[in-house]
Amino acid sequence: MELDLRSLLLELADSGADFVVVGGIAAVLQGVPMATFDLDVVHSRAPENVRHLLHLLERLDASSRLRPQSEALRPGAEALAGPGHQLLRTRLGPLDLLGSVEGGLGFEDLKQLSEPFLLEGRTLRVLSLQTLCDLKKNATHPKDQLSRLMILETLRLKQET
Amino acid sequence: MDDGSSLQDHDALLTPATLAPAPQAWLGDGVDPSMIRWMLSLTPEERLRWLDNVVQTLHEVRRGT
């Protein structure tokens, strides 16, 4: 599997789908120096948006990471319209399409907590650093705890400047 | 066969704007403020390029290339 997260993000932006970037890429875009190996987004589960995503997944040759590559199982409209997580491999790298995140928050909720970001001529919605930090508040995994500390320090340094 | 071109492409991406500074003052919790300040000085495009460099490097290390 190739790893070109920047191209994967731009493909998603060009797909016409509505989504909010969350997770590590959202943190990196806002200045947190952390490594991440997948692109996490919370997508709109509206029928029209699901259609955009289905076309995108076909172009990206996406399939479930939870199944052997030989099975190449791709989520259908019903799965994308639900609140669950679709963990996918694509020709540009891992892509997680999340119907909702902690607390059952979905696209419409997170859209209010996101900020517009201009990236190579595209406007993306990226979850705010403060919300990313809040979502990791109860995390117990050491990696998430370190990420939260890095986000907190980044927020502090941003306020300084 | 790997002709090294991917590594060359990777090197080409390491422009001064994407070279991270050496750690200077680590906090006790493992957070490096100098690294964060450097990241904040970059544009979002440059931050993504930095991430791609990191990911590619780790990928190559794991593959032993």
With respect to residue A126, please indicate whether it lies within any of the assigned structural domains.
yes
pLDDT at B14: 46
Q: Chain A contact for B10, CB < 8 A?
A: no
pLDDT at A43: 98
By three-state DSSP, how is residue B25 classified?
A: coil
**Taking 90 as the threshold, does the pLDDT of residue B17 lie above it?**
no
With respect to residue B59, please indicate whether it lies within any of the assigned structural domains.
yes
What is the span of the domain harbouring residue A29? 5-148
By three-state DSSP, how is residue A5 classified?
A: helix
With respect to residue A96, please indicate whether it lies within any of the assigned structural domains.
yes
Q: How many structural domains is chain B composed of? A: 1
Q: How far is CA B43 from CA A32, A39, A52, B39, B62, in A?
A: 12, 19, 29, 8, 29
- For A90, list phi and psi in degrees, rounded to 5: -130, 175
- d(C-alpha A151, C-alpha A133), whole Å: 6
B20 contacts in chain A (CB < 8 Å): 33
Q: Chain A contact for B23, CB < 8 A?
A: no
Q: Determine the longest span between alpha carbons in chain A, in angstroms.
A: 51
- d(C-alpha A90, C-alpha B31), whole Å: 32
What is the span of the domain harbouring residue B61? 40-65
Strand A19-22 versus strand A39-43 pairing type = antiparallel
Alpha-carbon gap: B13 to the closest alpha carbon of chain A (Å): 13
What ipTM score was computed for the predicted complex, to two decimals?
A: 0.87
With respect to residue B57, please indicate whether it lies within any of the assigned structural domains.
yes
With respect to residue B46, please indicate whether it lies within any of the assigned structural domains.
yes
pLDDT at A131: 96
Q: What is the pLDDT of residues B19-30, one digit of tens each?
A: 566 555 555 566
Q: What is the pLDDT of residues A66-122, one digit of tens each?
A: 887 777 788 999 999 999 999 999 999 999 999 999 889 999 999 999 999 999 999
**Taking 90 as the threshold, does the pLDDT of residue B2 lie above it?**
no
Q: How far is CA B4 from CA A92, A123, A138, B7, in A?
A: 20, 35, 44, 5
With respect to residue A30, please indicate whether it lies within any of the assigned structural domains.
yes
Cross-strand partners of A101 = A105
Alpha-carbon gap: A125 to the closest alpha carbon of chain B (Å): 13
With respect to residue B31, please indicate whether it lies within any of the assigned structural domains.
no
What DSSP letter does each residue of A112-136 carry, written as one string?
Answer: HTEEEEEETTEEEEEE-HHHHHHHT
B39 contacts in chain A (CB < 8 Å): 28, 31-33, 154
With respect to residue B12, please indicate whether it lies within any of the assigned structural domains.
no
Classify the phi-psi angles of A84: left when phi > 0, otherwise alpha if psi is within -120 to 50, otherwise beta: beta
B10 contacts in chain A (CB < 8 Å): none
CATH number, domain at A64?
A: 3.30.460.40
The DSSP element (H or E) to which A43 belongs, if any, is strand A39-43
* Cα R_g (chain B), whole angstroms: 14
pLDDT at B23: 54
Q: Give which of A6, A39, A129 to mutate to test B binding, by max B Cβ within 10 Å.
A: A6
pLDDT at B20: 62
Q: Chain A contact for B21, CB < 8 A?
A: no
With respect to residue A153, please indicate whether it lies within any of the assigned structural domains.
no
Cβ <8 Å between A5 and B51: yes
Q: How many structural domains is chain A composed of? A: 1
* pLDDT band, residue B16 (cuts 50/70/90): very low
With respect to residue A154, please indicate whether it lies within any of the assigned structural domains.
no
Q: What's the pTM? A: 0.85
Q: Give which of B13, B24, B40 to mutate to test A binding, by max A Cβ within 10 Å.
A: B40
Q: What is the pLDDT of residues A16-43, one digit of tens each?
A: 999 999 999 999 999 999 999 999 999 9
pLDDT at B58: 83
Cβ <8 Å between A9 and B48: yes
Provide mean pLDDT across the span B56-60: 83
